[in-house]
Chain A
Amino acid sequence: MGEHHHHGPAKGLTRWLFTTNHKDIGTMYLWFSFAMFILGGSFAMIIRAELFQPGLQLVEPEFFNQMTTLHGLVMVFGAIMPSFVGLANWLIPMMIGAPDMALPRMNNWSFWILPPAFLLLASTLFMEGGAPAAGWTFYAPLSTTYAGPSVTYFIFAIHVLGLSSIMGSINIIATVMNLRAPGMTYMKMPLFVWTWLITAFLLVAVMPVLAGCVTMMLMDVHFGTSFFSAAGGGDPVLFQHIFWFFGHPEVYIIILPAFGVVSQIIPAFSRKPLFGYDSMVYATASIAFLSFIVWAHHMYTVGLPVAGELFFMYATMLIAVPTGVKVFNWVTTMWRGSLSFETPMLFCIGFLILFTIGGFTGLMLAIAPADFQYHDTYFVVAHFHYVMVAGAVFSMSAAIYFWLPKWCGRMYNETMGKTHFWISFVGFNLAFFPQHFVGLAGMPRRIPDYALQFTDFNMMSSVGAFIYGLSQILFLYNVIATIVAGKKVSDPKVWDGAEGLEWTVATPAPYHTFETPPAIK
């Protein structure tokens, strides 16, 4: 690539170690997150294999708890979040006509502290007492008084990956606010850039809260404080408030960039501009604002006063309004469009349908009196996998298929892509739809054994999970085959309906783009 450029990428391993190029760093983020996706996925496979039948067959309950904990942590912090940061690195400078990220050296740092953090987290599996086992929400006192010695390593890993996220977000905000090409006003920015800008603000606001939360755990465990210990005047419920004050914005941190991706891809394959651009921006901002005042809907059963339950219930339901605006805008974009169903579009439509189902179950969970029945059951598990897997991971798959030809100048295999979609779609629904039923019937989450009447649905769920897991191997194969030997494409506009600055540069995207800012019409 780029022989006519006076400086291309350096050669060898140091290219990746010392790179400050947004495309290199984006690539590394994407590969790293895929590796974490496979790691977190293999934990999920252990969980589903154990749950295939009632009774204990494969693993000890203690190890099962470590698996649910690490699966959640690795997927949220290792797979989904870094994958979208990788996408942001690749695309934001190209979408706003900037030559690179605003702070390229910090960019290098925010990536390279990530692998050690996860190495630290994964190493706890081999420590005495095992990995953290208190769930990805690591409620105190389970994660303090009753935790094994590895909890200290877990805390440090959270600190480091939090730092990485904060640096990444600062970089994104600094880039969007300062490096837009002349004429690229805020309301002309592609929606992916908008959703990431808002996400980055959420990250800067709440990752320090998570850091504070784990710091308090550290102090309780090692320095004799009692933030979360009732004996010394603290309160374990305080942990839940602090955790979810971080945790609820966190779920929007995961889904908002996905909204951005879908808002880029649906117009491209509908061959129509996005319907209601302005309302999309305002809806995103409203969701971000509301995310700060709904955290206690995760803890209806801790004994909140009735006024509190009502407030958090209504505030939570209010989020359905901007989310509904978005869903209707996507549907309206497709309405009377000249639709075609390439793999990225299939994943986006899958996203649209399944995310909406996840949104509706979210509304059911928001109803405080009903939540007492659903709380901590498989219904919750089904709900958040519909929004996280079918929401974030489907949109991420769509994004890879959509932009990969631009990045490497080679087209993926469409048949294999569509096969990947349909296997994922069927596998995903088979895995998670039955979980709604067992949840409503009272099967609690995070248990290695269950009552006999849940067997059939759990078997379906396990089979579905394995199908979904295997479909990702096909995805990996397709991506590698594309990069190595895909059919060459050279048209800057890989997709005829795609709009935006990233489609004006050469294909494959040269190592340096927009060294002189483009003219915005």
Chain B
Amino acid sequence: MLKLSKNPAINTATTLVAVAVLMFAFVFVVMVPLYNVLCDALGINGKTDGKAYTSVQAGIDESRLVTVQFVATNNEGMPWEFGPTVTMMKVHPGAVNDTVFFAHNTLGKDMVAQAIPSISPSRAVQYFHKTECFCFNQQPLAAGAATEMPLQYIVDRDLPADIHTITLSYTIFDVTDMAKGAVATR
């Protein structure tokens, strides 16, 4: 209990004001970072950590095949043509695999996009390693231009045996305004 005044009621009130201020701060400095840390650590929400994986040579497990499916979605209002060139791959755990996604800016203006990945089932998140991904960076594309964007990944050898299929889904967002550093307009 804070002791600022001779009036005990004022002291109670000041303490409670401090509690309220702390709770307000708690939302910003604890809840938000904690949520992100937990999601990363536990792979909840299908969130991947957004950083390149440095591969460990552990050999390829030729005894099993895992199906990797690719899904692409345009966020509302995003006019690009965007999708995987191959929608499904059968891969051995431990092997390094490459694929490409295509993107085409259909508008007559330069734009910047950001792809946000999500993996399903979420238990597979920690066993799906991306060594190279277009989602690590924002993707600028000039008016009317098209491009192919690389993705390189390894399915971990320790992937639980009951998981036969992993779905990697990308949603592409228009972040042109954010990239400009301008105030986002709605």
Contact = CB atoms under 8 A, between A and B. Distances in A.
A205 B178 CA distance: 34
Contact of B19 (A147, A175, A204, A233): A204
A224 B183 CA distance: 5
A80 to B, nearest CB: 21
Contacts of B39: 235
Contact of A245 (B24, B31, B175): B31
Nearest to A220: B184
Interface stretch (B42-50, B81-89, B93-101, B139-147): B42-50
Contacts of B177: 224
A118 B27 CA distance: 25
B75 interface: yes
Contacts of A179: 9
A204 B174 contact: no
Contacts of B12: 102, 170, 173-174, 177-178
Interface string B153-174: 0000000000000000001011
B45 A303 contact: yes
Nearest to B171: A230
A223 interface: yes
Residue of A171, A208, A216 ringed by the most chain B CB atoms within 10 A = A208
Contact of A206 (B22, B23, B45, B171): B23
B178 A231 contact: yes
Secondary structure class of chain A's binding surface, majority of residues: helix
Interface in B19-66: 19-24, 26-28, 31-32, 35-36, 39, 42, 44-47, 50
Contacts of B47: 235
Contact of B9 (A175, A211, A230, A237): A175
A144 B31 CA distance: 20
B116 interface: yes
B126 interface: no
A230 B19 CA distance: 31
Contacts, number: 112
Given A170-B17, A178-B8, A212-B28, A221 B186 contact: yes
A290 interface: no
A436 B178 CA distance: 46
Nearest to A171: B13
Interface string A199-230: 00000111111011100100011111011001
A213 B20 contact: no
Contacts of B122: 303, 305
A238 interface: yes
Contacts of A222: 183
B32 A237 contact: no
B114 interface: yes
B44 A235 contact: no
B45 A145 contact: no
B44 A227 contact: no
Interface residues of B, number: 41
A396 B32 CA distance: 37
A12 interface: no
Given A103-B13, A212-B24, A235-B39, A241 B31 contact: yes
A325 to B, nearest CB: 28
Interface string A120-159: 0000000000000000000000001101000000000000
A230 B173 contact: yes
Nearest to B120: A303
A224 B182 CA distance: 8
A400 interface: no
Contacts of B45: 235, 237, 303
A145 B186 contact: yes
Contacts of A305: 42, 44, 122
A273 B171 CA distance: 63
B21 A231 contact: no
Nearest to A145: B186
Nearest to A241: B35
A212 B20 CA distance: 11
B16 interface: yes
B83 to A, nearest CB: 18
Interface string A160-191: 00000010011101110111000000000000
A173 B16 contact: yes
Nearest to A147: B186
A232 B122 CA distance: 21
Contacts of B24: 208-209, 211-212
B114 to A, nearest CB: 5
B16 A170 contact: yes
A228 B51 CA distance: 21
Contacts of B20: 166, 170, 204, 207-208
Contacts of A489: none
A209 B19 CA distance: 11
A242 interface: yes
A205 B19 contact: yes
A213 B42 CA distance: 24
Contacts of A206: 23
A279 to B, nearest CB: 27
B175 A209 contact: no
A17 interface: no
29 contacts: A102-B13, A103-B10, A147-B186, A166-B20, A170-B12, A170-B20, A171-B13, A173-B12, A174-B13, A174-B16, A177-B12, A204-B20, A204-B23, A206-B23, A207-B20, A209-B24, A212-B31, A213-B27, A216-B27, A220-B184, A224-B184, A230-B75, A232-B114, A232-B178, A238-B32, A238-B35, A241-B35, A303-B122, A308-B44
Interface of B: 8-10, 12-13, 16-17, 19-24, 26-28, 31-32, 35-36, 39, 42, 44-47, 50, 75, 114, 116, 122, 171, 173-175, 177-178, 182-184, 186
Given A170-B16, A208-B26, A241-B31, 15 more contacts: A174-B16, A175-B9, A177-B12, A207-B20, A208-B22, A212-B26, A213-B27, A216-B27, A223-B183, A224-B178, A230-B75, A231-B114, A231-B116, A235-B35, A304-B44
Question: 9 shortest A-B CB distances, which residue pairs?
Answer: A212-B27, A231-B173, A102-B9, A208-B23, A208-B24, A174-B12, A224-B184, A178-B9, A170-B16
